[in-house]
Every structure is written in C-alpha cells, then in structure tokens.
Amino acid sequence: MATVELTRFRVVPERAADLVAARPAMLADFRADRAGFRDAHLVQLPGDEWLDIVFWDSPADFAASRAKGANLPGITAFFAAIAELISSEEGAEQ
C-alpha cells in the first residue's frame, strides 16, 4: 500500500529562498538514493510554515528513507534551511 508522508516545518523568512533553491538537488538525491520514492510537493503556508507532502511505494520505503537521514548533500542543504519541525505524519494513500 502506498504511503504519504506529511511533514510540517517552519523556515525563517531569511532562509526561504535557500529552501526553495535546495529543493531540486534534494529531489534528485531522493530519486537516486531512496527506494520507493515516488514524488514530493512542497507547499508554503502562512506564518513561515511549510508542508512537504511525499509519496512512497510503501511504509517500509518511508521508514528506510528516514533511517538514512540527510546522507547526501542536496538533502543536507534542504534540511539546513529548516528552523523547526512542527509535525510529521504518515498515512495510506487512497
């Protein structure tokens, strides 16, 4: 069953451009290194908050990705722009 990852985080306004600039390399690293990665959508919310919606083939693929963390430069640069993690959830795609 496909899995959807919902991660909400805060980025200080001065780092928002860094986050957006790092996104293509992060996605390239995910495509190259993360089995089961399907796609991701980044949504800017009010109040310096963002929502990353990531689609995985399975819960196991998502778990394996989390275990790897920021293991590649593009992923590290994207994560470095994040000031605060607000929430992280996982659900089944319907």
Q: Is 47 left (phi over 0), alpha (psi -120 to 50) or beta?
A: left
Query: 3-92: which CATH number, 3.30.70.100, 3.40.47.10, 1.10.10.10, 1.10.580.10?
Result: 3.30.70.100
Q: CB under 8 Å to 27, separation ≥6 — which residues?
A: 40, 74
The reported pTM is 0.94
Cα R_g (the chain), whole angstroms: 13
Three-state DSSP string of 14-42: HHHHHHHHHHHHHHHHHHHHCCCEEEEEE
> Over its length of 94 residues, how does the chain's per-residue pLDDT go in tens digits?
899 999 999 999 999 999 999 999 999 999 999 999 999 999 999 999 999 999 999 999 999 999 999 999 999 999 999 999 999 999 999 9
